[in-house]
Structure 1
Amino acid sequence: MTEISNIRNLYFEEGKSITEIYRITGKDRKTIRTYIEKEDWNIAGEPLKSESTFTKLDPYKSEIDSWLTDDKKAKKKQRHTAMRVFNRLIEIYGDDFDCSYRTVAGYFSVKKKEIFNGEKGYIPLEHIAGEAQGDFGDADYYENGKKYSGKYLNLSFPHSNKGYFQLFKGENQECLFEGLLNIFEHIGGVPPKIWFDNTSTIVKRVLKNGGRDLTDDFLRFQTHYNFESVFCNPNAGHEKGNVEGKVGYHRRNMLVPVPRFNSLASFNVALLEKCEEDAMRKHYRKDSNIEELFSADRSALLPMPRTRLDVSKYRTVKTNKYGRFYLGNGLHEYSISPRYSGESVRVKITANEVIPLDDSLRDIVKHERLYGNHKQQSMKWLPYLKQLSRRPGALKYSGIYQLLPPIMNTYLERCDKAGIGQVLQMIATLTELSDFESAVKTVENALDYEVIDTDSLLNLHNRIHGDFVELPALKLSENVPVMAGLSTDMSIYDRKLKSSGVLV
């Protein structure tokens, strides 16, 4: 009622227009007009909303209820909003869905109150064009059917309320720098000032005088792109409240339901485009849409440097006798090649890849970077298979034999000593054609057919993993005559050939 009284005073006492009141209060114009024109303020005249009010939604209520029930299994910040429910119903039913957003929001509010608490409000702030705020959020996703508890970097521009974000498997310097670079390159410039938390990826320690002792890598990144970094007071994330809100907005509107995709890199490209589409909506407080306001932000951006900064990390590792090494506090094991066993090797580490390099700094193999506080292994078999194919006699004494899948060992044991090198070379070729798992599947089928020659391996692989169309059996119509005396006994042909003198 204090807000309502203030709006009515601005209109009736101070003579402000509805547009001026909208700019002062941020309230929707329709709401302001309702408060001004309303005459009956009896509480009894305002019946409480009940579920029965939303009868038009009856065909869709069970589906909405199931979404909200499933939300119990999702993270608190990755659940449906009324707008997301409304948009999903439109996506599913198209023109057949004829309920308004107000109806959906009303029903959603009733259901949500049964499970969730209301959200707190924050005081709006004015910001200089071009200034940005950065922060990470948490979100689950599936890549190639595998579930990840990921992180996503958000960069928001409070002046326009435009925001961008990029999804990663973790939250480290490589993810921070790669995410910022992807956004900088997408928008074609660098914010002159960016606000951050006191995260350990940037700040080594907060000094007594309020200064920050920054990590060398971040200082190098900041210097290269020439922006100023500003940091919130410890435990005061609300000081960059715009990006705090944007973290939640991106999750609710672009990461619900939990996304599923085949390529994280492709998904991140699509996310930037979604952020552009999202900017076509009205600003929540200003009398313009977000994209129009962002033109001022864009004009204030610093130019991109001519050279892209390599934000990878480089480490020198010592390999074990199998040519493998460990990262992630010894929990994550990666392979290189038996050729590099017991050697020091330079390794390039990005947000999503781990790449051992040879003496000329060329890639030896590429691994998907492992994340998580548990033991994991990434094995690239091709270098091992090539090495073994050159020295097949050392197979059982190399230590690599025990690392191979049991089905592969069973197959190799059936090969003769003279041909085992060629078989190993063929398995390496099949691995190059597709991947090691596909090669193992081919070997498994070869065991079923009891074939051990390389031609059979290649043909089986092409049949299993190639683009072959399986044709149905040919069915003859009833009017096609059956040939009398037709036999599948091939000895008949031998006798005919002998009688004619062709076959001796």
Structure 2
Amino acid sequence: MTVSTQVQEEIRRLDAEGVAGRQIARRLGVSRDSVVKYTGQTDYSPTPPIVRRRPGGSVVAGFTDVIDGWLEEDRARPRKQRHTAKRVFDRLVAERGYPGSYSPVQRHVKAWRAAHRTGGDGFLELAWDPGAAQVDFGQADVILDGARARLHMLVVTFPFSNARYAQGYQGETAECVCHGLRTVFEHVGFVPRELVFDNATGIGRRRGQEVTESALFAAFKLHYRCRARYCNPYSGNEKGSVENAVGFLRRNLMVPEPEAAGLAGLNRMLLARCDRLGEADHWRKHQPVRVLFARDKAAGLALPGARFDPVRYEARTADKTGTVRIDGVAYTAGPAYSLRRVTVGLRHDRVQILDENARPAVTLPRVFGAHADTVLDPSVLLPALARKPGAWSESPVRRHVTDPVRDWLDRASPRDRRDGLAVLDLATRSAGFACAIQAADTILARGHTPHADTVGMLARRLAAGVEPDPGAADLTIYDRLGRQATTEQVPA
């Protein structure tokens, strides 16, 4: 029977007054054993609580040596390749015929790890000075141009103030990192003195304790006069601020999925939203983040006068079609560059191919991941198609034109197809491929055959933003003028 503190107090008070134990028991309605227990207790000082753990269960008793051996062997393994309690249970069932349930195994594994924890285990609280930043990547889904896409989110956090900024990219290359850092630096108006990374950001390769930085990132550091430090790959607590920020920004900025017209529009939106997060108070220092961030800025470096261009140049030899491969993706400069040595400029969003004299040949959108089709600018293939119109049916350009233009060229005779492709090539040179195709489409919709003069004139007007009223132009005048000129040339 449990005796309350008040009753214990009465027992001891009556005992101090000389009342007999039997009388105390009758008066308070407790047993004589309770009276003896509490009158005889000499020390009521508080003692630390003892956790009464449930026993592991007799069914696991015969397997404890096996479990302990597996867990002891784990000490020599990487942390991410050690036994979980579930893996221990699965092995016991499959290899040792364990008949029991999972819970006793889980309790035994937990108790073993608690008993074998060393002073070096666990985490240390780190103190960050103003002017330092941590950098890492996470992933998040967004809606770009109406389609769902999964992006790699570069997150930059300033641990002293807890200010956080994010930018989305299609990959985790050095070009993406340098572009994202440049964007954040220019947005906040200063350069952190120190950048803390792990080895998963594309700007360095770790071998043991040594990190080899990419040439692009080394140039980036020189440009901004900052230094970089790389964490122990198994010690996420060394950059816990940014790892927490990745999850925080995903929950607070990406739910529901943000929608934007293009990657640049999304990144502008993210910067604005991150600025608004700076109005909140720091979770521990109880000051607005923006106030603390002013100290980060004061401790940082000034932006340089020149803007860094995060581009990586590589030499390639094009194949017989003028195509080069970058990270497994094919990009074509066109047949004019067949078997030529070219230079490829890689940026986070585009690939620029230059000739032997570093003159730009073509700029193409950069593609990350598996991509079966060749990335191309249709305009670079038009000159070759005009000379070899028989290749039209299998040409990739065919997929880049509108249905009316495609049908017109499909039905045309070889000579007319050659002339039509030459018309599109000429208009493309003066107004661009998209405007040339739109002009030809417009002329076909009016029931006329596209000619060099009509397509070129309309394409240039479209490029200049001076699109004519569809009902105001009468293009038959060009047919009449052509017939008149032919008649005047016939001798009398």
- Taking structure 1 as the reference length, the TM-score comes to 0.59
- Match status 1:405 vs 2:406: no
**In structure 2, distance between residues paired with 1:189 and 1:127:** 18
Question: 1:150: how far off?
Answer: 1.0
**What is the alpha-carbon distance in structure 2 between the residues aligned to residue 367 and residue 229 of structure 1?**
32
| Distance of 2:436 and 2:450 partners within structure 1 | 14
Report the CA distance between 1:326 and its aligned residue: 1.8
Aligned partners of 2:323, 2:355: CA distance in 1, in Å? Answer: 14
1:181 aligns with 2:182: yes
Q: Secondary structure of 2:345's partner?
A: strand
Return the offset for 1:322.
2.5
Aligned length: 342
Moved more, 333-342 or 128-137: 333-342
Of residues 360, 364, 368 in structure 1, which corresponds to 2:365?
368
**Distance apart, 1:234 and its partner CA:** 1.9
C-alpha distance in structure 2 between counterparts of 1:430 and 1:281, whole Å: 56
Q: What one-letter code is carried by the residue in structure 1 that aligns with 2:264? A: A
**What do the CA deviations read for 1:335-386 (whole angstroms, capped 9, x no partner)?**
2122112212111110110011134423322211001134243221112224
Q: Which runs of 5+ in 1 are unaligned?
A: 1-121, 472-504
Tell me, yes or no, if the aligned pair for 1:322 and 1:399 is still in contact at 8 Å.
no
The CA distance in 2 between the partners of 1:190 and 1:293, in whole Å, is 16
Match for residue 319 of structure 1? 318
Residue 166 (structure 1) aligns with: 167
Question: How far has the Cα of 1:431 moved from its partner?
Answer: 5.2
The AA in structure 1 aligned to 2:168 is: L
**In structure 1, the residue corresponding to 2:283 is in which secondary structure?**
coil
Q: Is the 8 A contact 2:382 2:422 kept in 1?
A: yes
User: Which sits farther off after the overlay, 346-355 or 226-235?
Assistant: 226-235
Check the 8 A contact 1:159/1:293 in 2, yes or no: yes
Deviations 1:222-268 (A, max 9, x none): 23322222222122222211111111122222222212222212332
Indicate if the aligned counterparts of 1:136 and 1:171 stay in contact, CA closer than 8 A. yes
For residues 108-156 of structure 1, the C-alpha deviation after alignment (integer angstroms, 9 at most, x for no partner) is xxxxxxxxxxxxxx98643111111111110122322343221011111
The one-letter amino acid of 2:240's match is G
Counterparts of residues 403-482 of structure 1 (less than 5 Å): 403-405=396-398, 410-412=407-409, 414-415=411-412, 420=417, 423-428=420-425, 451-454=448-451
* Correspondence for 1:328: 327
1:148/1:169 contact within 8 Å kept: no
* Structure-2 change in CA distance of 1:234 and 1:262 (3 Å): same
Q: Deviations over 1:364-410 (max 9, x none)?
A: 2221100113424322111222454xxx35322x6886334276565
SS of 1:201's equivalent?
coil
Output the CA distance in 2 between the equivalents of 1:140 and 1:261: 12
| Correspondence 1:296 to 2:289 | no
Return the offset for 1:416.
6.0
Q: Shift of the alpha carbon at 1:168?
A: 0.5
The structure-2 alpha-carbon separation of the partners of 1:283 and 1:386, relative to structure 1 and needing over 3 Å to count, comes to: same
Look up the SS of the partner of 2:388 in the other structure. helix
1:260 aligns with 2:259: yes
Other-structure match for 1:395: 389
CA deviation map 1:307-337 (0-9, x unaligned): 33332111122223322222222xx222212
> Where in structure 2 are the equivalents of 1:131-146 lying within 5 Å?
131-146=132-147
1:188-337, aligned counterparts within 5 Å?
Answer: 188-199=189-200, 201-207=202-208, 210-329=209-328, 332-337=329-334
Give the superposition deviation at 1:440: 5.5
Q: 2:274 corresponds to which letter in structure 1? A: C
Amino acid of the residue matched to residue 311 of structure 1? Answer: P
Cα distance, 1:159–1:453 mapped onto 2, change above 3 Å: closer
Distance 1:235 1:373, change over 3 A: farther
CA–CA distance in 2 between the matches of 1:146 and 1:434? 29
Report which of the two structures shows the higher radius of gyration computed on alpha carbons: 2
Matched with 1:342 is 339
Question: Which residue identity does 1:453 align to in structure 2?
Answer: P
* 2: CA distance, partners of 1:404 / 1:213: 42
Question: What is the deviation of 1:446?
Answer: 6.4
Aligned equivalents of 2:185, 2:305: Cα separation in 1: 13
5+ unaligned residues in a row in structure 2: which ranges?
A: 1-122, 472-492
Residues 458 and 362 of structure 1, relative CA distance in 2, 3 Å threshold: closer
Q: Distance in 2 between matches of 1:416 and 1:308?
A: 53
CA apart distance, 1:433: 8.4
Distance 1:420 1:184, change over 3 A: same
Cα distance in 1, alignment partners of residues 466 and 227 from structure 2: 54
- Contact 2:331 2:375 (8 Å CA) reproduced: yes
Give the Cα–Cα distance (whole angstroms) in 2 for the partners of residues 469 and 411 of structure 1. 23
AA matched with 1:218:
F
Cα separation, partners in 2 of 1:202 and 1:470, compared to 1, 3 Å: closer
- Over aligned residues, Cα RMSD in angstroms? 3.5
1-structure distance, mates of 2:411, 2:449: 7
Which structure has the higher relative contact order (CA within 8 Å, separation 6+)?
1
SS of the residue 2:395 aligns to: helix
Match of 1:20?
Answer: none
Q: Distance in 1 between matches of 2:387 and 2:470?
A: 40
- In the alignment, which residue of structure 2 is the partner of 1:60? none
| Aligned amino acid, residue 382 of structure 2 | L
Question: Aligned-pair distance for 1:205?
Answer: 2.4
> Which residue in 2 is equivalent to 1:24?
none
Deviation, structure 1 residue 432: 6.8
Distance 1:278 1:362, change over 3 A: farther
